[in-house]
Amino acid sequence: MNNFLDGKSVLITGGTGSFGKKFVETVLKKYSPARLIIFSRDELKQFEMAQEFSPAKHDCLRYFIGDVRDKERLYRACRGVDYIVHAAAMKHVPASEYNPTEAIKTNIYGAQNIINVAADVGVENVVALSTDKAVAPVNLYGATKLASDKLFVAANAFATGPRYSVVRYGNVLGSRGSVVPFFIKKRDEGVLPITDSRMTRFWITLDEGIGMVLDAMENAFGGEIFIPRIPSMKITDLAKAIAPGCRLEEVGIRPGEKLHECMIPREEARNTVANGKGYIMLPDTGVYAYRGDVSSMTAVPEDFEYSSDMNDEWMSVSGLQALLKSQGFDV
């Protein structure tokens, strides 16, 4: 293992979320950072997380109260930091629709603050988390994440500064707000509400998502959007895997929701290459000159589109059950 984080200072925004907790656990197990800073705005979640990951046991840990909207606080938190993982976001779709200015402040202005502060204090590498909802967005959350992605890619045009890259993936198994705990809770009623029987989604585990981020932290040249090659699943198969004896009841697609998810639109195929791990969307040369070497990678076909309903790999009911069990769910 390449211990590239040993002796380094790492800051993760939104560090008390599902991704943040698992990221901290993984880094503590695999590396020996000088500092690992959990930056978030909820003191209760920080207190609860500190019971599991205690600074008394791990002297590299720092719990730092702050908001990505607050540029001055970011300056204080980021001094001496080598790597930033930007996971903070307002991501609840209905809440973002009802409070649009709040989503814009966190997801767009917060991203710009990260970019500028990282450049000013000499951070080495910044990796931002994205979502499949940033592709052809139909809700405000997706629109703000698309804007955020564009900001991080364009930031590499700075003459000097950090390497900025983006990691984009689909639904995370069992993350906060996931449909899995909802289905498990509802199965005792004998009926599972599903939005549409045709619906499909990409599927990834937290461990896989963290592996992608660590790979980007180590290897990104700057400007890439990294996208994994992951399976799709049908919402009806997920329901059968969790509650095989339940009746499924269609309730209709919610506002701002898609029937299928897309991570690479056909219009971006000309900028996309494939490697053994997945796909990399490269920045348009009109923005700035990309400094990476993709000579060993393969350009995707001009009509390529990476959508959950047109995937080559699918999770079966039995495969979903095995995966859920491996992640500790009672199915």
Task: Give the residue numbers spanning the domain of 150.
Answer: 9-170+204-229+265-306
Residues 19, 22: Cα–Cα separation, whole Å:
5
Domain count, the chain: 1
Is beta strand 83-86 parallel, antiparallel or unpaired with respect to 61-65? unpaired
Instruction: Supply the mean pLDDT for the chain.
Output: 93
> CB-based contacts of 11: which residues, under 8 Å, 6+ apart?
37, 39, 64, 77, 78, 81, 83, 84, 85
Residue 255 lies in a domain: no
Chain centroid offset of residue 27 CA: 17
| CATH code, 225 | 3.40.50.720
Chain centroid offset of residue 329 CA: 22
Chain centroid offset of residue 194 CA: 24
Residue 50 lies in a domain: yes
Residue 245 lies in a domain: no
Tokens 């599991």 found at: 52
Among this protein's residues, is 133 annotated catalytic?
Answer: yes
Tokens in use for 96?
């973002």
Residue 300 lies in a domain: yes
pLDDT for the residue 176: 67
Q: Are 157 and 222 in contact (CB under 8 A)?
A: no
pTM for the whole structure:
0.94
> Packing angle between helix 18-30 and helix 43-52, nearest 10 degrees?
30
Residues of the chain with pLDDT under 50: none
Tokens 């950090």 found at: 162
pLDDT for the residue 134: 96
Q: Where are the beta strands (DSSP E) in 147-252?
A: 163-167, 171-172, 191-194, 200-204, 225-228, 232-234, 247-250
Q: Which of 133, 145, 234, 240 is catalytic?
A: 133
pLDDT for the residue 177: 65
